[in-house]
């Protein structure tokens, strides 16, 4: 562990302006600084950085905290990882303690894994179960599969090693019964799957019954060492392969993962009886892999795949879904020697966005107008949660699935969709529209520099204007709107410059976050946009290209 005093020392070296400035472009604003907020789809700089308070705060999404919190959130790291990252950034050497308690605990889990492992050799029916599922000896060895005998036998073993009840409780190994009079081990007559942390420490177990206990699988409970929703089973063995192949296969089960490894798919992992969540993403984000979701084709599997697809597409992950039917899951297919077929399936997944749209639409009866409307709403809300480029590319898929004209699918940026009516109003866009309504000859000044796609909140109205549909009530309303000014040519140009700076700054942020671009592409786009912003700031217009 990192020594506390060392963390405190590091903290005194951190300056919020400097830390945030490493990631974002800051603008001086009185005593504070402002920036485009990276935690929501921001168009105006909503993030305020206060040097006197040493904090940041977003007035739009509410994100906020100190330097450490910023790096944690931005880089999606946990606390110690963040401290280490900051220490590297500021060339600060941390001191570590070798925490005694952590040492004891680790030994406990190591001992217990070994104990279960030995018991597998004594329990014929357990070993036979594994062999009959097609699991080979070397796989049993690699994943250290074991067998938990009766609760009393395990407790005797642990007590014999001098572990106290509180230690056993700490690690979720044993507990006291509700009546408070009897200690019991959580795993009783089960095949044991030891679960390692990403660095390889044993942190928990999964157990499968072989005595027809109604709970087929159980996992260690949530403890301070074991957080199911941050761990992936098999990750420790898979990470090098994921990194090399730029691909990860995510399954729902221990056996699927083990059997896939046995068949050479060493980039397979499993969620631990939970959905794939945001908390899992830091494990894979940095390797930028294509993600294959290999899930069950039953209702629960489909629901889980939909949730995961939504999450992954929102974060611009490449990849897709493959659903397995009854008696044909990855473990069975490996056992039956269908390796080639599996390989083919993993290469022919249905892309996340397509899968999500198809499944959302399938939830509704499209012959009913009201249901169809709901399907449109849910589908649109999903599309709007995606990065802009994806929204545009998949608009047609949604309208096609619903058999509706494409213009009914409104893809707007998240920020402008924030529920309230006011959020749709963008004064700058409206001012430009109203000015042209008022002085139509100014349209030429506009069109050289502004493309219709740059209008985010009032794209429809701008389109109407270009099509000269001046009687349309939406345009009439803008024409009569007293709060919106009309400009002369000089003021129009300065409004356009403001508009363009905003557009390109936002584009810059999107490119910085885009996981689909290579480093070189990013550098190229970033430079060209920065050049544009530079010119605009000097008061020069830049042509749209
Ligand atoms: Zn924000």
CA of 58 to the centre of ligand 1 (A): 5
Q: Which residues contact 393 (CB under 8 A, 6 or more apart)?
A: 353
CA of 39 to the centre of ligand 1 (A): 5
pTM, two decimals, is 0.61
CA of 120 to the centre of ligand 1 (A): 53
First to last CA, the chain: 53
Q: Are strands 64-65 and 247-251 parallel, antiparallel or unpaired?
A: unpaired
Query: What does the pLDDT profile of the chain (545 residues) look like in tens digits?
Result: 788 888 999 998 899 999 999 888 899 988 899 999 988 888 889 999 999 889 999 888 888 999 999 998 887 778 888 898 888 778 788 887 765 455 556 688 999 999 999 999 999 999 999 999 999 999 999 999 999 999 999 999 998 988 888 889 888 999 888 777 788 999 999 999 999 988 788 999 999 998 888 889 999 998 888 988 889 999 999 988 998 889 999 999 999 999 999 999 999 999 998 889 888 988 888 778 999 999 999 998 999 999 999 999 988 899 999 999 877 899 999 999 999 999 999 999 999 999 999 999 999 998 888 888 889 989 998 998 888 888 888 999 999 999 888 888 887 644 343 333 334 567 788 889 999 988 888 888 888 888 888 988 888 899 999 888 887 878 887 887 766 778 888 888 888 888 898 899 889 988 888 888 888 888 889 999 999 998 888 888 888 77
Q: State how far the Cα of 225 lies from the Cα of 203, in Å rounded to an integer.
A: 6
CA of 375 to the centre of ligand 1 (A): 29
130-166 burial: b if 16+ Cβ within 10 Å, else e: beeebbeeebbeebbbbbbbebeebbebbeeeebeee
Q: Which residues contact 185 (CB under 8 A, 6 or more apart)?
A: 148, 151, 154, 155, 158, 173, 174
SS3 call for 426: coil
What domains are defined for the chain?
A: 4-89 (3.90.580.10), 101-226 (3.90.980.10), 230-357 (3.40.1360.10), 363-419 (no CATH), 427-537 (1.10.860.10)
Name the nearest CA neighbour of 112 among 204, 182, 232, 183. 204
CA of 20 to the centre of ligand 1 (A): 14
Residue 527: CB atoms within 10 A of its CB come to 10
CA of 57 to the centre of ligand 1 (A): 8
């Amino acid at each position: 562990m990192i020594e506390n005093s060392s963390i405190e020392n590091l903290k005194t070296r951190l300056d919020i302006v400097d830390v945030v400035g490493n990631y974002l472009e800051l603008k001086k604003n009185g005593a504070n600084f402002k920036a485009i907020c990276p935690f929501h789809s921001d168009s105006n700089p909503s993030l305020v950085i206060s040097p006197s308070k040493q904090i940041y705060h977003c007035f739009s999404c509410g994100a906020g905290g100190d330097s450490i919190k910023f790096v944690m959130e931005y880089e999606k790291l946990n606390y110690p990882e963040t401290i280490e990252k900051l220490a590297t950034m500021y060339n600060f050497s941390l001191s570590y303690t070798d925490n005694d308690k952590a040492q004891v605990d680790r030994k406990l889990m190591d001992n217990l894994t070994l104990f279960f492992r030995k018991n597998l050799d004594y329990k014929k029916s357990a070993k036979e179960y594994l062999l009959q599922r097609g699991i080979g000896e070397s796989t049993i060895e690699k994943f250290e599969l074991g067998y938990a005998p009766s609760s009393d036998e395990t407790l005797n073993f642990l007590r014999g090693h001098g572990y106290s009840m509180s230690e056993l409780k700490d690690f979720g190994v044993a507990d006291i019964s509700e009546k408070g009079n009897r200690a019991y081990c959580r795993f009783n007559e089960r095949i044991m799957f030891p679960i390692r942390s990403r660095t390889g420490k044993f942190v928990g177990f999964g157990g499968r019954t072989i005595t027809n206990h109604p709970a087929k699988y159980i996992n260690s409970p949530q403890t301070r060492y074991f957080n199911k929703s941050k761990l992936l089973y098999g990750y420790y063995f898979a990470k090098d392969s994921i990194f090399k192949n730029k691909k990860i296969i995510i399954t729902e089960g221990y056996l699927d993962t083990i059997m896939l490894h046995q068949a050479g798919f060493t980039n397979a992992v499993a969620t631990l009886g939970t959905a794939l969540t945001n908390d899992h993403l830091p494990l894979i984000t940095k390797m930028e892999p294509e993600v294959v979701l290999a899930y069950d084709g039953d209702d629960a599997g489909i629901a889980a795949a939909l949730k995961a697809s939504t999450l992954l597409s929102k974060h611009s992950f490449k990849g897709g879904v493959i659903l397995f039917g009854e008696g044909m899951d990855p473990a069975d297919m490996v056992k039956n020697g269908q390796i080639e077929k599996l390989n083919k399936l993993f290469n022919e997944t249905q892309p996340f966005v397509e899968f999500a749209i198809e499944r959302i639409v399938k939830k509704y009866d499209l012959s009913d107008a009201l249901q169809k409307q709901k399907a449109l709403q849910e589908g649109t809300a999903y599309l709007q949660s995606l990065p802009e480029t994806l929204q545009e590319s998949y608009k047609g898929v949604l309208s096609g699935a619903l058999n509706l004209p494409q213009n009914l699918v409104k893809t707007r940026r998240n920020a402008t969709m924030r529920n309230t009516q006011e959020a749709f109003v963008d004064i700058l866009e409206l001012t430009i529209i109203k000015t042209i309504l008022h002085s139509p000859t100014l349209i030429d000044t506009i069109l050289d520099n502004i493309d219709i796609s740059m209008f985010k909140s009032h794209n429809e109205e701008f389109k109407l204007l270009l099509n000269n549909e001046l009687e349309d009530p939406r345009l009439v309303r803008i024409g009569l709107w007293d709060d919106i000014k009309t400009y002369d040519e000089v003021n129009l140009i300065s409004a356009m410059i403001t508009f363009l700076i905003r557009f390109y700054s936002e584009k810059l942020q999107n490119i910085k976050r885009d996981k689909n671009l290579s480093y070189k592409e990013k550098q190229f786009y970033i430079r060209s946009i920065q050049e544009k912003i530079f010119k605009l700031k000097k008061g020069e217009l830049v042509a749209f290209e």
